[in-house]
Structure 1
Amino acid sequence: MVKVYIENYGCARNRADGEIMAALLHLAGHEIVYDLDESEIVIVNSCAVKDPTERKIARRIRELLDEGKKVIVTGCLPHVNPEVIDERVSAVLGVKSIDRIVQAVEYAIRGEKLISVPDWRKRNLDKLDLPRLSLRTVYFIVPIAEGCLNACTYCATRFARGVLKSYSPEKIVEWVKWAIKQGYKEIWLSAEDTGCYGFDIGTNLAKLLDEITAIEGEFRIRVGMMNPNHVIKFLDELIEAYQDDKVYKFLHLPVQSGDNEILRRMGRNYTVEEFEEIVNAFRKKFPDLNLHTDIIVGFPGESEEAFQKSVELIKRIKPDKVNVSRYSPRPGTIAAKWKQLPGWLIKERSRLLHRLRLQISYEINQKYIGRKMEVLIHGEGKKGNVDAVTMNYKHIILPKGEKGKFEVAKVKNATSTYLLGEIVT
């Protein structure tokens, strides 16, 4: 038996993979520890979506090795840029090989090295067949698919996750039922792109939501990111499914650019007009919709005019949150071969858009002051306060509250990133 510490980076999908590895190791008799100093082996469950993230993780791997830890690297980095992984690591596992984590640890104990990074085409792994070990007590992540149907010219994640493989609705529903029986109050439906769920098996996200909301119990569903080109195909059906009280009125719909030519170069397969059509349709039905979107600034070929179109789009649709990313070329992608914009210009555009998004978020959140809203208590937050979420997934800070309880809170104040309030029931 050895003591293993797991560091998860990146998306909710990756965190679910980390919980699978934790469960497999626990069942094999190893101890999962939550203090790095106690560990003998560290699993770095990596992300490689952006160049800064990659550099951060590569640096972290070196630090752990220099401290004398045995390190196993999993996640997307082994697929995207294995060259940056320090040769001293004890094992390297791809996203389709996490079921070999016990073997990797046993190799590491013996001083041997296991490398298993198969191409996604050559190894199929249904992760809903694997156990989970989660420390969280309020929300539970349920992967609904792996891979996607897009071919974005800037994305390297697809080299790791591959083409869409949707998990069966029956297995997903069983995991949701299990989580509710365990006392979880919030279910995260997670995938690289929830919008194309089921397209490969003759169903879709709306039908899945209908099946999950039919499950008895008091719980809420948080739907993960979905791309516009898929949502537009079953928009009315999806909006109808969202009307159920169990579904958070939260929509993460990345647009990436306000310029159609840049979207074409990105390989995004939708137009700005289609993106706005989806937003308008959702807002018409759900006035309190919490809209998150993503913008990439500095993509190759982005002129000043194209950037200004992104700025105008954000001013026009006023999202609750904009995730602003500075474009960075990823190995093996088409866009990495194109002429790159200067770093200073990308940084300048990023700062401008970030200031705009904070201003818009602040104005939106101020309108919540004085309102009474149902909230779900997540648990302890920073500085002794309590973190909770509203039914449209706005984070609200409360002075007190019992984890896992639904309460009514009154909003007393607001910042650009969260609300502040107190329980009134």
Structure 2
Amino acid sequence: MSKDKKDYSKYFDFSDAKILSEDENGKRIRIRGREINILSEPNHRQEKQRGKQDVQVLYDTALPEEFKTIGLGKFYLVYTFGCQMNEHDSETIKGMLEQMGYKATEDRMEADIILLNTCAIRENAEDKVFGELGHLKHLKTEKPDMLLGVCGCMSQEEGVVKRILSKHGFVDLVFGTHNIHRLPHLIQEALFSKEMVVEVWSKEGDIVENLPKKREGLRGWVNIMYGCDKFCTYCIVPFTRGKERSRRPEDVIAEVRELARQGFKEITLLGQNVNAYGKDFTDITYSFANLMDDIHKIDIPRVRFTTSHPRDFDDHLIEVLAKGGNLVEHIHLPVQSGSSQVLKKMSRKYSRETYLELSRKIKQAIPDVVLTTDFIVGFPGETDEQFEETLSLVREVGYDFAYTYIYSPREGTPAAVMEDNVPMEVKSERLQRLNAAINEHSRKSNDRLLGATVEVLVEGVSKNNDSMLSGRTRSNKLVHFEGSADLIGSFVHVRITDPMTWYIKGDMITEPFAATDAV
């Protein structure tokens, strides 16, 4: 076992656990005086076995009347860790809680239920959650009737759930990513039984439509599919999110039309691999490119999507995106490494050369496109020469932004048993060099905007200056400019006066103009 690989066995000990009852509906156990009702729990072996069962699409999801009063006079607080998918899951969780009568609060002392919607993509994300649980333990002691729950991707990991059962017995509720729609039933069970309730499905979840959502802000997240079938060797997501399941196109399009009717200015289509959308359909031939082409015709100003896998990014999609209109000129295209050898060890299923060819095609079809990406440095066995290939890829493609990470082993993935033989000081040095190369291009890209006039969707007041507003261009560049708060939620035009590395500054203009840049 490498020094960076977490050994979960030190966190739990079930020697004092006693099984109270067990049947086909689950089991009840007692650990350290706390009774736990385990309806189902995660199992990585089951998660690795892609089931052949048909994925059902469920539409009749109305909340039973008896659940609508459970939260009356009570307050909820949801903490979200991780990606946009988690953010969107939290919107659904909040929507269900409000259907049950709960009201939102930002004061944890006022909250009657606190849920941590978690991320498992990297080890430090888990550390943050367990650190937060440590803080909440004191609150739970003061307010024993408060419900405390852990959900999301971490809950789909065997070791995490065992650690919660053994070391965090004050938690009342644990549920996974596939059974969020079961939340009202699980809350009822936890309240009435006074036991910890655990329900995590290792089998693939069905597609559940018509769940309530509490959306906030200017942008709307729209799930178009769930899960991932790529099984990159470093990634836990295929286990925590399950196999790829696409929503029916008519359901996606109806949701986008409704968001347009409600006045949303921007939507982001979500999936672990949006480019694989529709490949699981057996009754129709309908791809992500087809979906984007149909959404292109809907009267909503901006449409984004995340995240893309280069393997499934085809010529038809490029052709559709080149139509512009509400399809913005920003594509997030994770590459992870610039070395074909490392990409093969990662099981990314493309090479450096095919990625470069894809980026060339995209730039040729969409001249104003801005590309952003993800990188992992210090993957097991990565040599200095292979890292230099990553730096040269950055220079050749020219990214405006990148999420960069030091490799972090995840329990249950193939990479976790590889020899992690790149010293931490080498990983850190490589990360600094990579960030410097990306920052250099980002600054050059922003410098080219000096004097250009850009369209900005105003998102809010600057955190550091009440007289400054901030918003984003079509290509997702952050812009700061002076203006009044009544402009929030509207589109304005800004002439760029001061480009920086991470953002650009400018002056709002009101006179008629001809746009000088598509960003």
How high is the TM-score relative to the length of structure 2?
Answer: 0.78
The answer for unaligned runs of 5 or more in structure 1 is none
Aligned to 2:273: 193
Query: Aligned residue for 2:308?
Result: 226
Distance in structure 2 (CA, Å) of the matches to 1:125 and 1:380: 40
Find 2:436's aligned residue among 345, 355, 359. Answer: 355
Residues 250, 128 of structure 1: CA spacing in aligned structure 2 closer, same or farther, 3 A cutoff?
farther
SS of alignment partner, residue 373 of structure 2: strand
| C-alpha distance in structure 2 between counterparts of 1:308 and 1:89, whole Å | 46
Matched with 1:57 is 129
Q: Does 1:106 align with 2:188?
A: yes
* 1:191-238 alpha-carbon deviations (Å, 9 max, x no partner): 1111111111232111101111212x342101111010010xx22443
Instruction: Kindly provide the CA deviation profile for residues 160-190 of structure 1, in whole angstroms up to 9, marking residues without a partner as x.
Output: 1111001111111111111111111101101
**Matching residue of 1:295:** 375
Amino acid aligned to 1:128: E
Aligned to 1:116: 199
Instruction: Indicate the residue corresponding to 2:155 in structure 1.
Output: 78
C-alpha contact (below 8 Å) 1:104/1:113 kept by paired residues: no
Q: Are 1:10 and 2:82 an aligned pair?
A: yes
Q: Deviations over 1:50-95 (max 9, x none)?
A: 0111111111122112222632011000113324433321100100
SS at match of 2:209: helix
Contact 2:292/2:320, CA 8 A, preserved across alignment:
no
Structure 2 partner of 1:90: 172
Is 1:397 the equivalent of 2:397?
no
Moved more, 67-76 or 158-167: 67-76
Give the structure 2 partner of residue 133 of structure 1. Answer: 214
Q: Matched residues in 2 for 1:87 and 1:221: separation?
A: 44
Matched, 1:286 2:345: no
Which structure is higher in helix share? 1
In the other structure, the counterpart of 1:409 is 494
Q: Which has more radius of gyration?
A: 2
Q: 1:387 to 1:338 in 2, by over 3 A?
A: same
Q: Which residue of 2 aligns with 1:170?
A: 250
CA contact (8 A) 1:377 1:404 kept: yes
Counterparts in 2 of 1:231-310, with a 5 A limit?
231=313, 234-310=314-390
State the secondary structure of the residue aligned to 1:393.
coil
> Any unmatched runs of 5+ in structure 2?
1-70, 141-145, 511-519
Of residues 145, 154, 164 in structure 1, which corresponds to 2:234? Answer: 154
Letter in 2 for 1:207: N
Q: CA deviation at 1:291?
A: 0.7
Alpha-carbon offset, residue 3 of structure 1: 1.1
**Aligned partners of 1:100 and 1:381: how far apart in 2?**
39
Q: Please give the secondary structure, in 2, of the residue aligned with 1:57.
A: helix
Which amino acid is the alignment partner of residue 286 of structure 2? T
State percent identity of aligned pairs: 28
Distance 1:243 1:229 in 2: 22
**In structure 1, C-alpha distance between the alignment counterparts of 2:220 and 2:107, rounded to whole Å:** 22
Instruction: Provide the rounded CA distance (Å) in 2 between the counterparts of 1:416 and 1:31.
Output: 41
Q: Cα RMSD over matched residues? A: 1.6
Moved more, 273-282 or 78-87: 78-87
CA distance in 1, matches of 2:114, 2:499: 39
TM-score w.r.t. length of structure 1:
0.95
Secondary structure, aligned partner of 2:328: coil
One-letter amino acid of the counterpart of residue 161, structure 2: P
Q: Distance in 1 between matches of 2:325 and 2:458?
A: 17
Aligned-partner Cα distance in 2 for 1:168–1:326:
37
C-alpha contact 2:288 2:317 (8 A) present in aligned 1: no
Match of residue 44, structure 1, among 83, 106, 116: 116
1 CA distance for matches of 2:309 and 2:236? 17
**How many angstroms apart in 1 are the aligned matches of 2:431 and 2:162?**
29
> What is the alpha-carbon distance in structure 1 between the residues aligned to residue 150 and residue 378 of structure 2?
31
Q: Is the contact between residue 4 and residue 39 of structure 1 (CA under 8 Å) also seen in structure 2?
A: yes
Q: For residue 57 of structure 1, what is the amino acid of its counterpart?
A: V
- Would the alpha carbon gap of residues 87 and 348 (structure 1) be closer, same or farther in structure 2, given more than 3 Å must change? farther
Q: Separation in 1 of the partners of 2:110 and 2:447?
A: 45
Q: Give 1:32's aligned amino acid.
A: A
Report the more deviating stretch, 142-151 or 101-110.
Answer: 101-110
- Name 1:418's counterpart in structure 2: 503
| Partner Cα distance (2:208, 2:354) in 1 | 33
Deviation at 1:47, TM superposition (A): 0.3
Contact 2:224 / 2:270 at 8 angstroms: preserved in 1?
Answer: yes
Aligned to 2:42: none
Alpha-carbon displacement from aligned partner over 1:10-32 (angstroms, at most 9, x marks no partner): 11111111111111111111222
